[in-house]
Structure 1
Amino acid sequence: MSNELYTLNAEVRADLGTGASRRLRHADKVPAILYGADKEALALTLEHNKVIKAQEDEGFYSHILTLNIAGESVEAILKDIQRHPFKPKVMHMDFQRVDASHKIHTKVPVHFLNEDAATKGGNTVAHQVTEIEITCLPAALPEFIEIDVAALAVGVTLHLSDVTLPAGVTSVELAKGEGHDQAVVTLNAPKGAASEEAEEAAE
């Protein structure tokens, strides 16, 4: 993804409320809000076609974005995006300002590597999660987290505690203590093989 898609031009809007937001959407604009970093929240407007193009890429949801607002470049992360229930239309977006000295709390996607090797012989890889909730300083924010399943044994489940996170990155769930070590991925045997093993165990 190019840096151009990580940058969005935004305008400050003074006309607030449901009616105002509806008028913006009819004009192919996206109402948004920018908050955080102990600064006043700003109501913004973005170009819908630019947003649609940018949000198609996975990195848009975990990368630090640049919002150009009245000549000022503001770094932020996307915290929420609301879509129309059936139309290809973005209804509203929430952005949080990024402060280099303060940790951010967000979710990053998981990329599972070498699934072809793991599924030889009819095994199946079951993804228990598709993203991991993390905290870190902005400079340490990963675009995604990679998990290699090539050496995963049949019937084994990898948990959050088995995942090697980048330096400076902490799992939100693991920080909560025991009982929060979520399952991440499991390698299952072919259904027929599983049935045969169960029969043998019963005998």
Structure 2
Amino acid sequence: MKSITIKGSERESVGKKATKALRNAGKVPCVVYGGDKPLHFSADELAFRDLVYTPNAHTVVVDLENGEKVEAVMQDIQFHPVTDKILHIDFYQLFKDKEVTMNIPVKLIGNSPGVRNGGRLLFRKRKLAIKALPDNLPDFFDVDISKLKIGQNIAVSSLLNDDFSILHPDSTVVVQVKTARAAIVVEEEEEEEGVEGAEATAEGAAEGTEAPAADTAAESKE
């Protein structure tokens, strides 16, 4: 999995006043859990742009001014309810021999024949929670929908891998193609119009064959 480096400074004070001062200075207070003790640090809000505002998953290297570097993954993030500014981020430290839980994005590959035939694509799970060792964390799940027909789905069971555990039931639907009701109505209306047109043609043909017969009988009497 790709890693992003965040340059930060260790926080000496973690009180409310110090935290408010950091935010006013355009910095984000953060905490790294999972080690011997929590690591409190702060970094410029812009430093988190490629980590937060992206659909992709990344690990993080927290590069502190004192030379210490810590590998971690983002676990939780808080935004301001009005301005959407980042208020706080929690990280979890990574260890080579310790499994970590992380949400991995799902990417769809190909074009579904079911959609081409009028079906509706439903993307049920855009991210899947997994548990794995850091070296086994995938960048994303590739889900091929090039053979997905109307009424079919792709479930978690088809994405299982020995390198990690997916924390969803095997029957969980990731993506599916359902029949579009509007398309069915249109087809039924076209069929009904076709039947009515055929009946009208048949009636017209019948009337057309009777009329000449009547005229012929009248002419023979004259």
Provide, for residues 88-130 of structure 1, a one-character-per-residue CA deviation record: whole Å limited to 9, x for no partner: 4211101110000011111111111124655213322101111
Stretches of structure 2 that go unaligned for 5 or more consecutive residues are: 190-222
In the alignment, structure 1 residue 72 sits paired with structure 2 residue 62: no
Q: Which has the higher strand share?
A: 1
Q: In 2, are the aligned partners of 1:142 and 1:166 still within 8 Å (CA)?
A: no
- Give the letter aligned to residue 24 of structure 2: H
Distance 1:194 1:131 in 2: 32
- Provide the residue aligned with 2:38 in structure 1: 41
Q: Give the 5 Å matches for 1:19-38.
A: 19-37=17-35
Q: In 1, are the aligned partners of 2:108 and 2:142 still within 8 Å (CA)?
A: yes
Give the direction of change, closer, same or farther, for the CA distance of 1:15–1:186 in structure 2 (3 Å limit).
Answer: same
Q: Give the 5 Å matches for 1:46-65.
A: 46-59=43-56, 62-65=57-60
Q: Which has the higher helix share?
A: 2
The SS at the match of 2:182 is: helix
Stretches of structure 1 that go unaligned for 5 or more consecutive residues are: 175-179
Q: Which has the larger radius of gyration?
A: 2
The SS at the match of 1:16 is: coil
Provide TM-score, normalisation by structure 2.
0.76
Deviation for aligned residue 1:197: 8.8
Distance 1:112 1:10 in 2: 36
Q: 2:164 aligns with which of 169, 173, 178?
A: 169
The SS at the match of 1:122 is: coil
Q: Which sits farther off after the overlay, 74-83 or 118-127?
A: 118-127
Provide TM-score, normalisation by structure 1.
0.82
Identity %: 25
Deviation for aligned residue 1:53: 4.5
Q: In 1, are the aligned partners of 2:62 and 2:69 still within 8 Å (CA)?
A: yes
Distance 1:142 1:187 in 2: 26
In the alignment, structure 1 residue 190 sits paired with structure 2 residue 180: yes
Q: Give the 5 Å matches for 1:131-150.
A: 131-150=127-146
Deviation for aligned residue 1:7: 0.3
The SS at the match of 2:47 is: helix
Distance 1:155 1:197 in 2: 18
- When the two chains are superposed, the root-mean-square deviation of aligned CA atoms in Å is 2.6
Q: In 2, are the aligned partners of 1:107 and 1:134 still within 8 Å (CA)?
A: yes
- Give the letter aligned to residue 18 of structure 1: K
Q: In 2, are the aligned partners of 1:11 and 1:44 still within 8 Å (CA)?
A: yes
Q: In 2, are the aligned partners of 1:8 and 1:67 still within 8 Å (CA)?
A: yes
- Give the letter aligned to residue 171 of structure 1: I
In the alignment, structure 1 residue 152 sits paired with structure 2 residue 148: yes
- Give the letter aligned to residue 29 of structure 1: K
In the alignment, structure 1 residue 113 sits paired with structure 2 residue 109: yes
Distance 2:17 2:113 in 1: 54
Q: How many residues align?
A: 189
